[in-house]
Structure 1
Amino acid sequence: MVIRSYTAAPTVALALGLFTPPVSIATDTIVFTAAVLVSPAMGQPDTLTKKQSDALNVYSNAVNRFKSILGQRRVQINSNQRLPNLPGQALYLARNDMMSAYKDLTDALPSKIGRPNKFGIPPAYFDADSEPLLDEYRKLFDLMDAPPAKAQNSDTPFKDVVDLGIAIARAKGLDAANAEAAGRISLGLFFAETNGNQNAGNARSNRYKGSLQTGPSEDQIGQKKWSAIKKSVAAFNPALSRRDKMEEARVGNLDHRLNHWTAVRDALMSTHADIFPQVAAIAKTLPDPIDQMKLFELMQIIPTPTRAALKSGNLVNCRISDPTIMGYLRNNSIFAFGHADRARTSATFREILDAMWLFNAKFEQARSQFDEIKTG
């Protein structure tokens, strides 16, 4: 899940089952020796510089803080204790601190860059030995981001997102091929916001919720924009129009964000529908579907600069240098880890897209799911 340009939101997954037995946090402490490093080639210890030793100690402390907060939240959840307001915030910051400290460590000591990890995080930013910690992190967010009791699920959540994306794109004048691309992009947004879990809550924000994690004003804007095109949609897709009427009746006076269908529909209309007509041009500039998804995700993170970049005629080389915008990117885990990344004062959109590697796995999953829907 991304952070809007004016607040914070987590990477989340929805809890659908029983509590998961806790990962052993206290007994799994990673122990570092700050004074020496054993060289794999020599088999003998090499003396570290003070900078390297300090970086090793900072990383060790960051790992232990992350473990401590993971353990605290697990105990609170398993014992049914009342959680603090925004219980995911401390977890999120501790995870970021750990990754930042590791990047500083590998910058100072490149030999610490290890094997690839199952999350697809660049090895310079994450030690694969810490995979169980991120597993537990995700399990805790599964539980903390469970949907509200009144949330209205769909039996076909992925297909709903694709169908709505395609229908909205068609209403905006796209041909069949480009409308399908809009449907794939829409599914990517769903996975980016909630790991593909419908009606998710938000353990790091009291403002955002639902399948595309929108705020109240975004949802209201989306409802109004949908009203303006729904007759057009009904003309070429009466089945989708009937489904829409059914879901409108079902949600009634509830918050539209508590119904998967209306939450997705309103979110797409509010933020992305006006950009769908540019899908063909975007695909020429960014032929990789993952890059296309990333660009539309940036519409949620930094909408005004992204719109300006699209109008510039030189999207990939358009440069962001405003400190506030750079801060919004960092709040969304882009240029957020390590002193070198955080010291950046500007970046082109090509550099921003490349730095969105935490989104890669989500978008790959969305692309695979889209292919299943289209072939199924």
Structure 2
Amino acid sequence: MERPRHRPVARMAFALGLLLALPGPGLISATLAQSLTEQQSDAQKAYDDALNRFKQVLAERRNQINSKQPLPNLPGQALYLARVDMISTYKDLTDALPSKIGRPNKFGLPPAYFDADAEPLVDEYSKLFGIMEAPPAGAQDSATPFKDVVELAVAIARAKGLDAADAEAAGRISLGLFFAETNGKQNVGNARSNTYKGSLQTGPSEDRIGRKKWAAIKPAIGRFDPQLIARDDKEEARAGDLDHRFNHWTAVRDGLMNAHAELFPQIPSIVRTLKNPIDQMKFFELIQIVPTPTRSALNSGNLLAYRISDPRIMRYLRNNSIFAFGKADRARTSATFRDIMDAMWLFNKKFERALAEYEALKAKKS
């Protein structure tokens, strides 16, 4: 059958018409440039708006505190969300316009996520949280809060069968937990939660579980460290009917026993896998944040490559400032434990302070 001869001609005419209808190379480039400029402009506006909201929330809370007005329930939540939004929109801005990445900042945050010009705002944020999370009347401080954390952790680790070196690692790691949870402040409240309180930010049920586990291990510790048990008896008597989360000693003791002590026997293998002391602290902080998948990762035999993809767990991580900032990070649907620990940069300064305090304690002891 003979093919119609007009088809190629029609196709050629159509193609020529389409080509003529398209803008020239210069117009295409101009269109793309205009679109990119709009994207950058939108990102700049989003950051400016978020920065202004953060300033407004800070000013509102400061005014309420200074004028002794009653604060709303969970007064830190609005501050926290405004800070997250400020950091998130800045990351979106630097993704759209890398030239906006500025100088290093005193908090050690990646410059792509934080504009150093906003340092005074974060200083005010910390001051406000310090006021809102002040320990309640009657809270029982310790004169040696850092030493307490290390000595309790070392004693627990020794009772779990660790040698001296690995028991010291438990002490160092536990001091990191104290700084991660409260910046090294004793007996604090929580401006974002009505549940978690005290030096290790435990809930009532966690405290009860920790006290029960401590009672079981206490005789073993007494056999090699009667002095520590004498201190414990003194603190128990001092606490009396007080919520044990507001006596620094008992709060740390029960917090460690609740969740972390059961993993102390695995510290030798954890330290072999995670040679960086800050990574070791991050791992135990993840026991605080997402305990079940963290234990699963440890038991998998390939801790750093173990992948989390449960949306609920990813949400818990974001609620604790991990993958929380910027569209790209928040779009992640999974992450390995190496990815997770790398994303815990907001904790780095806290853990560095903990290491410095630990080294100071060691120097004083020696």
Counterpart selection for 2:76 from 88, 91, 106: 88
Distance in 1 separating the partners of 2:54 and 2:169: 39
State the 1:150 CA deviation: 1.4
State the 1:370 CA deviation: 0.3
Question: What SS is found at the alignment partner of 2:206?
Answer: helix
**Equivalence for 1:146:** 134
Give the letter for the 1:66 counterpart: F
Answering whether residue 122 of structure 2 is matched by residue 134 of structure 1, we say: yes
- 1:168-207 paired onto structure 2 within 5 Å: 168-207=156-195
State the 1:253 CA deviation: 1.2
State the 1:64 CA deviation: 0.1
State the 1:49 CA deviation: 1.0
Give the letter for the 2:350 counterpart: K
**Equivalence for 2:322:** 334
- 1:346-357 paired onto structure 2 within 5 Å: 346-357=334-345
Answering whether residue 117 of structure 2 is matched by residue 120 of structure 1, we say: no
**Equivalence for 2:149:** 161
Distance in 2 separating the partners of 1:193 and 1:98: 22
State the 1:258 CA deviation: 1.0
Following TM superposition, the consecutive aligned residue runs of length 4 or more in structure 1 with deviations greater than 2 angstroms are none
- 1:164-313 paired onto structure 2 within 5 Å: 164-313=152-301
Distance in 2 separating the partners of 1:206 and 1:321: 29
Counterpart selection for 1:343 from 327, 331, 334: 331
Cα displacement string for residues 47-73 of structure 1 (whole angstroms, at most 9, x for unaligned residues): 861110000000000000000000000
Distance in 2 separating the partners of 1:201 and 1:134: 20
State the 1:292 CA deviation: 0.1
Answering whether residue 65 of structure 2 is matched by residue 61 of structure 1, we say: no
Question: What SS is found at the alignment partner of 2:136?
Answer: coil
**Equivalence for 1:24:** none
Using CA pairs under 8 Å that are at least 6 residues apart, name the structure with larger relative contact order, 1 or 2.
1
Identity of aligned residues (%): 73
Give the structure-2-normalised TM-score. Answer: 0.90
State the 1:121 CA deviation: 0.4
Give the structure-1-normalised TM-score. Answer: 0.87
State the 1:108 CA deviation: 0.3
Give the letter for the 1:202 counterpart: N
- Structure 1, unaligned runs of 5 or more: 1-45
Distance in 1 separating the partners of 2:266 and 2:359: 22
Distance in 2 separating the partners of 1:204 and 1:322: 24
Distance in 1 separating the partners of 2:74 and 2:300: 39
Question: What SS is found at the alignment partner of 1:85?
Answer: coil
Give the letter for the 1:60 counterpart: D
Distance in 2 separating the partners of 1:208 and 1:278: 27
State the 1:344 CA deviation: 0.3
Question: What SS is found at the alignment partner of 1:287?
Answer: coil
State the 1:87 CA deviation: 0.3
Distance in 1 separating the partners of 2:264 and 2:124: 37
Number of residue equivalences:
331
State the 1:213 CA deviation: 0.4
State the 1:80 CA deviation: 0.8
Cα displacement string for residues 160-203 of structure 1 (whole angstroms, at most 9, x for unaligned residues): 00000100100100000000000000000000000000000111
Question: What SS is found at the alignment partner of 1:273?
Answer: helix
Question: What SS is found at the alignment partner of 1:91?
Answer: helix
State the 1:375 CA deviation: 1.0
State the 1:325 CA deviation: 0.3
Superposition RMSD on alpha carbons, in Å? 0.9
Cα displacement string for residues 112-146 of structure 1 (whole angstroms, at most 9, x for unaligned residues): 00000000000000000000000000000010000
Give the letter for the 2:357 counterpart: Q
Distance in 2 separating the partners of 1:319 and 1:167: 33
Distance in 2 separating the partners of 1:317 and 1:96: 28
Distance in 1 separating the partners of 2:231 and 2:55: 46
Distance in 1 separating the partners of 2:210 and 2:192: 23
**Equivalence for 1:78:** 66
Distance in 2 separating the partners of 1:347 and 1:205: 27
Distance in 2 separating the partners of 1:229 and 1:136: 43
**Equivalence for 2:312:** 324
Distance in 2 separating the partners of 1:102 and 1:258: 38
State the 1:317 CA deviation: 0.2
